[in-house]
């Protein structure tokens, strides 16, 4: 493979695709553009040191003061020997075999302060499903607020396959269905009883809808509320960020993961210097603290190349219109920023057509990263849904 030609061609393609995202990056405040430009290889190393590693659990931005953390191991569907051979994110000793692969799904929890003694009054568990190239850490502003306003609720999130501390998996296993299986396994482990409120952001919204539609009846009947943030019930590919990953960039990335580990590392370094800043800047519209922009970019930088490639098909093709009937009668909320170029208002309107019982919350001047960019609006919406669910108990 002519790696140098591939890299230059791909970076050109990514630059053009990032430009097509719209004027969001161009209109971003100067300090945001400055943050993006500083995300060079040396800059990323400095950021990693400054943040004391992204998942330290001791400093913000990020989840802190958790009461429990752990890992749920998931045995996946069969993986061919060919796919296993191409899985170069892991050490050789950790690569999946030709039969199954083990996915160590990391979860993070804030337990209720005063758990009810009677099983019939099990606490409501709020399950947070993060978006593409993010991690459970992205919900830290919700955890901080809700643990104070509603300490009686359990807060539970996880790093979906291919993200965060769960780490890389073969690209073929990065799907909406697979990620939903991760979330359901964590629920079974940590919240086996009691009502559930499922909160999903971006790709996490599609995953939440898939859970509502396809989970086993024992789980589905416990889902008492849903909050969908900056997401879609239709295909995500029509707008925004998926265009950055569209062909020929995706083709080049697919070619790269079929190459040697050395070429993969070179490719990742080359493309991350542009990919992460493009994604990080494009999804914010409001003036946002510099450290949050860095925090968001650090999560993108951490994302394995296999994850970018693996979820691409579902970003382009997956829809969950069939979840509509399952939403009927459920309290919930649909949130969208007025300047969201990834999942704009018309996507929220499609959800509302299928789910008129939900509250539509339009966040003025906000972009796609509402959990980080407009946390108060997100927190209040979750609180309203929680209070409705509690009143029905």
Average pLDDT over residues 66-93: 67
CA dist., res. 274 & res. 291, Å (int): 19
Which residue range is the domain that position 118 belongs to? 1-393
| Residue 173 pLDDT > 60 | yes
Closest CA to 142 of 190, 201, 102: 201
Confidence label for 300 from pLDDT (cuts 50, 70 and 90): confident
What's residue 286's pLDDT?
A: 85
Rounded to whole angstroms, the maximal C-alpha distance in the chain is 65
| Residue 155 pLDDT > 50 | yes
Bigger pLDDT: 282 vs 40: 282
What's residue 23's pLDDT?
A: 42
Q: Could you tell me which residues come within 8 angstroms of residue 53 by beta carbon, excluding any fewer than 6 positions away?
A: none
Q: What is the CATH number of the domain that holds 167?
A: 3.40.50.1820
Alpha-carbon dihedral sign for residues 249, 9, 262, 80 = positive
Count of the separate structural domains present in the chain: 1
Query: What separation, in Å, do the N-terminal and C-terminal C-alpha atoms of the chain show?
Result: 61
Average pLDDT over residues 336-352: 94
Confidence label for 233 from pLDDT (cuts 50, 70 and 90): very high
Closest CA to 8 of 262, 258, 274, 240: 274
| Residue 356 pLDDT > 80 | yes
What's residue 341's pLDDT?
A: 86
| Residue 246 pLDDT > 50 | yes
What's residue 56's pLDDT?
A: 74
Count each helix (H run) and each strand (E run) in the chain, helices first: 18, 8
């Amino acid at each position: 493979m002519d790696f140098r030609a591939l890299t230059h061609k791909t970076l050109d393609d990514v630059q053009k695709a990032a430009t097509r995202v719209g004027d969001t990056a161009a209109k971003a405040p100067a300090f945001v553009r400055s943050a993006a430009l500083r995300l060079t290889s040396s800059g990323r190393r400095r950021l990693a040191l400054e943040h004391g590693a992204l998942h330290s659990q001791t400093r913000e931005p990020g989840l802190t003061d958790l009461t429990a953390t752990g890992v749920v191991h998931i045995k996946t569907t069969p993986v061919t020997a060919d796919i296993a051979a191409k899985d170069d994110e892991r050490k050789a000793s950790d690569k999946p075999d030709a039969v199954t692969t083990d996915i160590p799904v990391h979860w993070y929890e804030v337990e209720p302060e005063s758990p009810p003694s009677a099983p019939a009054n099990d606490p409501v568990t709020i399950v947070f499903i993060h978006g593409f190239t993010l991690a459970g850490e992205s919900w830290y502003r919700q955890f901080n607020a809700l643990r104070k306003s509603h300490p009686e609720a359990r807060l539970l999130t996880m790093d979906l396959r291919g993200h965060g501390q769960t780490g890389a998996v073969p690209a073929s296993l990065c799907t909406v269905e697979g990620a939903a299986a991760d979330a359901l396994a964590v629920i079974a482990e940590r919240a086996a009883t009691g009502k559930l409120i499922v909160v999903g952001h971006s790709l996490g919204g599609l995953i939440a809808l898939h859970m509502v539609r396809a989970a086993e009846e024992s789980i589905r009947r416990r889902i008492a509320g849903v909050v969908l943030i900056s997401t879609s019930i239709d295909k995500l590919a029509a707008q925004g960020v998926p265009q950055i990953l569209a062909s020929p960039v995706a083709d080049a990335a697919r070619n790269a993961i079929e190459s040697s580990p050395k070429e993969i590392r070179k490719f990742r370094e080359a493309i991350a210097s542009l990919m992460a800043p493009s994604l990080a800047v494009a999804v914010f519209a409001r003036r946002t603290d510099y450290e949050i922009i860095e925090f968001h970019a650090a999560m993108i930088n951490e994302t394995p190349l296999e994850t970018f490639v693996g979820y691409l098909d579902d970003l382009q093709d997956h829809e969950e219109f069939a979840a509509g009937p399952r939403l009927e009668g459920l309290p919930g909320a649909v949130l969208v920023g007025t300047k969201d170029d990834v999942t704009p208002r018309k996507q929220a309107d499609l959800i509302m057509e299928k789910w008129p019982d939900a509250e539509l919350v339009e966040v003025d001047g906000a972009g796609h990263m509402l959990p980080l960019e407009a946390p108060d609006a997100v927190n209040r919406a979750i609180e309203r849904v929680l209070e409705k669910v509690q009143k029905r108990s």
